[in-house]
Structure 1
């Protein structure tokens, strides 16, 4: 199976200047745990719910002034639509990530692949490998 057959389609991103309040609101409204950050038509980072908790709240910052750029994780790990789901899962295992953007042949983000997607489209063994990798202590 190809990643494009397992991913969530229609993912949107935010700009680096987007307030973290808007990012958190998107996460709540869409029931998601990560939002890509894009600038000049390129992915430049990801914000996870963990990023918000640890980089914004735990350090006592004035959250009304923080933007996506302030809390995002730089260096986006992604897969391509034509990659096999197995290859994408192995990348997720290696990088210990639970979700990643999916890019098409024109280098456009067309979806997100999550642990939940994998659990619904891959066998138990592959899903189990991913869960074990991302659930292991750092």
Structure 2
């Protein structure tokens, strides 16, 4: 199965200068755990609910003054719409991540592929493999 058939859309991202209070509100409203961050029409990182907890709340930073770029996980690991879900699973396994932004052939962000999407699209064996890989305890 192609990633384009398994991913969820629409694709939304936030600007690097977006206050994390707005991002947290969006995450709560849309029931999502990660949002890509962009700057100059390019994705530059990802901000997750874990980033908010460990880099904002735990450090007592102001959610209204702290910007996405200040606390995001830098860099983007992504997949392409025409790749297979199996390829994405191997990438998620290798990078130990639960979500992948999806880019189309024009290198535009068009959706997100999550662990949940894989669970609905792939067989039990592949889903189990991925869950085992990304749920590995920190050492």
Give the TM-score taking structure 2 as reference length: 0.97
- Give the superposed CA RMSD: 0.7
SS at match of 2:64: helix
CA distance in 1, matches of 2:116, 2:65: 33
The count of corresponding residues between Structure 1 and Structure 2 is 138
CA distance in 2, matches of 1:135, 1:7: 21
SS at match of 1:64: coil
Structure 1 residue ranges (4+ consecutive) displaced by more than 4 angstroms after TM superposition: none
Cα deviations by residue, 1:23-43 (Å, 9 ceiling, x for unpaired): 001100100000010111110
Unaligned runs of 5+ in 2: none
Correspondence 1:60 to 2:52? no
CA distance in 1, matches of 2:36, 2:8: 13
- Alpha-carbon deviation of 1:62? 2.6
CA distance in 2, matches of 1:95, 1:105: 23
CA distance in 2, matches of 1:17, 1:128: 37
Unaligned runs of 5+ in 1: none
Correspondence 1:88 to 2:95? no
Partner residue, 1:48: 48
